[in-house]
Amino acid sequence: MLRALRPTPPVIFLLNSLGVGGSEAKTVRMANALSERGTQVCIAYLNPPEQLKADIAPEVQTVHLRRRGKFSIPALRALLRLLGTFNSPTLVTVNLYPALYGALARTFMGASRFRLLMAMNTTEFPRRSLERRMPLYRRILARADTIVFGAQAQRKLWRDRHGVAREGSRGPDSIVLYNGVDTALFGARPPMPCDARAQLQTRYVIGCVGRMRPEKAHVDLVRTTAALRARGIDVGLLLVGDGPERGHILEEIERLRLGSAVVLGGETRDVRPFLAAMDLFVLPSVETFSNAALEALASGVPVICTRGGGMDELIGFGGGLSCEAGDVESFATAIARLLTDEVERRRLAMAARRAAVEHFDWDRTVDRFIALTSAR
């Protein structure tokens, strides 16, 4: 592992929680990497749950701010005290609600006491209530030194639709920092096999990894599997993850009489055995820049994803195809073409691995993040 060439300012990440989720897992991973390179790092979080706390390196400080209610003055005071214990830190707020606390901390402490980065991992808002609050959040985001977006398309949408970080404006600047993937870890053989193929007993396996929430559109993927099987393609579906949408997914599986053609793998700390069981990774939701899809690319699994967000940027270097979100027949057609064309599927698999190594390697992402937090 490369080390930073000079000491870097302390970094404090502010999260809603340490629950299982893409933003949270990415933050923990970055905090551990910065600590390994010699940076003083702290993760502060507002609420339970704390499932990811066990994944945080011992050298990384963790602080529960104990938020109570819709807005918590004691949690803000705790954040102010925490910031006061560091010498010129960089505070990185992750998503909109923590950004509110970061903006208020800047108001009370002043711009010279700490550098403020606001990282946005959302492209489309899953709830209209968030959209209605954008006039408030625009003022909050204006308090940042830099707004960090996960894709060019996301930055353009926020500029055009929400008036955030427009070029030539007097507000904060913005950058795009793509997610990264440990290409050595995901290029290695999984430590243990996955029996999903044996459970499915189908010729082909398509799959997805992600938290089971309505906006992740797992039900569309179940319907796509039914459409493929109706075309006579012997395909099974492997879904890895858990969440509040699980019951709805099971209802749809039963309604479409898919039965043994779908396996729910549940939550897991190591997705590599499941990725190894897939012929194709299919992402039916609109995402800014999916970590799960990146891990599939690095594992040499071709990706079929939705257009929109930053996913066309993710597969722009090779290794995948995109379809319109919610278009089950379009997804079924693209999947059927690749499953029945082994030569093209192998070509995409090699391109997927190459794209991950050459453009999204984790060390490169950490280097860019260190440069960003060190800028003054």
Report pLDDT digits (tens) over 169-220: 677 899 999 999 999 999 887 777 788 999 999 999 999 999 999 999 999 9
The dihedral over CA atoms of 301, 232, 195, 345, expressed in degrees to the nearest 10, equals -20
Q: What is the pLDDT of residues 42-101, one digit of tens each?
A: 999 999 999 999 999 999 999 999 999 989 999 999 999 999 999 999 999 999 999 999
In the chain, count of helices (H) and strands (E)? Answer: 16, 13
Q: What is the pLDDT of residue 3?
A: 46
Q: What is the pLDDT of residues 22-49, one digit of tens each?
A: 889 999 999 999 999 999 999 999 999 9
**Using CA atoms, how far apart are residues 94 and 13, in angstroms rounded to an integer?**
7
3-state SS, residue 368: helix
Domains, the chain: 11-180+361-374 (3.40.50.2000), 184-359 (3.40.50.2000)
Q: What is the pLDDT of residues 303-331, one digit of tens each?
A: 999 998 899 999 999 999 999 999 999 99
3-state SS, residue 352: helix
Full-model pTM:
0.88
Q: What is the pLDDT of residue 376?
A: 65
